[in-house]
């Protein structure tokens, strides 16, 4: 009943593009604005513990607004567009393995405050596009870390030390693709890779939507 009501409301009040306010396409992100999302070259932006970290674009302009809208302003519909953007970059990499996809986890305290993990939403949409399996619980954040954006690399390493643990009851066989929204110094990926290596994972790839 709720879905029917929402559909009727969409017909009456057309969705406006979050970026340009156009209601012509009745989409949260119109095709014209989506086309403004530029890609970086298809190559690993860095390598940590033998694992390639790929970055799709630069955290500015439309991509920055897309990530911030999803992450901080409860614009959950934008998860599809961020996933689509990451998927289009991922296709260019051409890795044909069957991955399980892991979102960078949030501590329960942070989820309680924000009400959702935006990367869980992105992984859900990304897996619909790729046909991969999501695995939301393989890696857990057990340390309520400080926000990273004001910290130096050394401070980030200390902040994230022992922040993650692996749930060994989950799938430990399939290759892993870790998704995150922003990769600044690579420390978050580095720490996640470290704990995965400890339980024997060797096939890991990291993919971030953006970097500064």
pLDDT at 24: 87
157-175 burial, b at 16+ Cβ within 10 Å, e below that, comes to eebbeebbebeeeeeeebe
Task: List 209's β-bridge partners, or say none.
Answer: none
Residue with tokens 């260019």: 92
Predicted TM-score of the model (pTM):
0.89
Could you tell me if 209 and 85 are in contact, meaning their C-beta atoms sit under 8 angstroms apart?
A: yes
pLDDT at 69: 98
**Lowest-pLDDT range, 69-73, 86-90, 165-169?**
165-169
List pLDDT tens digits, range 136-152. Answer: 999 999 877 756 666 66
> Count of residues for the chain?
212
pLDDT at 170: 76
d(CA 38, CA 41): 10
Domains in the chain, please, with CATH?
37-211 (3.40.50)
> Which of the two residues, 12 and 186, has the higher pLDDT score?
186
- Dihedral, 166, 180, 188, 71 alpha carbons, nearest 10: -110
Helices assigned H by DSSP within the chain? 2-12, 31-34, 61-72, 78-93, 108-114, 118-130, 153-160, 187-198
Sheet arrangement for strand 51-58? 44-48, 51-58, 204-211, 176-182, 100-103, 133-134
């Amino acid at each position: 009943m709720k879905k029917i009501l929402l559909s009727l409301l969409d017909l009456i009040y057309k969705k406006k593009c979050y970026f340009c306010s156009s209601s012509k396409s009745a989409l949260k992100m119109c095709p014209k604005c989506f086309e403004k999302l530029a890609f970086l070259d298809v190559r690993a932006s860095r390598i940590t513990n033998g694992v390639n970290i790929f970055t799709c674009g630069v955290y500015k302009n439309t991509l920055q607004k897309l990530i911030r809208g999803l992450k901080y302003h409860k614009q959950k519909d934008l998860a599809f567009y961020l996933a689509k953007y990451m998927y289009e970059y991922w296709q260019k990499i051409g890795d044909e393995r069957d991955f399980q996809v892991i979102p960078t986890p949030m501590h329960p305290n942070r989820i309680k405050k924000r009400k959702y993990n935006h990367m869980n939403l992105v992984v859900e949409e990304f897996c619909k596009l790729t046909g991969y399996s999501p695995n939301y619980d393989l890696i857990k954040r057990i340390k309520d870390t400080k926000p990273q954006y004001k910290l130096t690399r050394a401070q980030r390493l200390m902040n994230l030390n022992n922040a993650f643990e692996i749930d060994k009851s989950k799938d430990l066989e399939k290759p892993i693709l870790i998704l995150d929204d922003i990769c600044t110094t690579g420390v978050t990926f580095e720490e996640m890779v470290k704990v995965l290596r400890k339980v024997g994972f060797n096939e890991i790839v990291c993919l971030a939507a953006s970097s500064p």
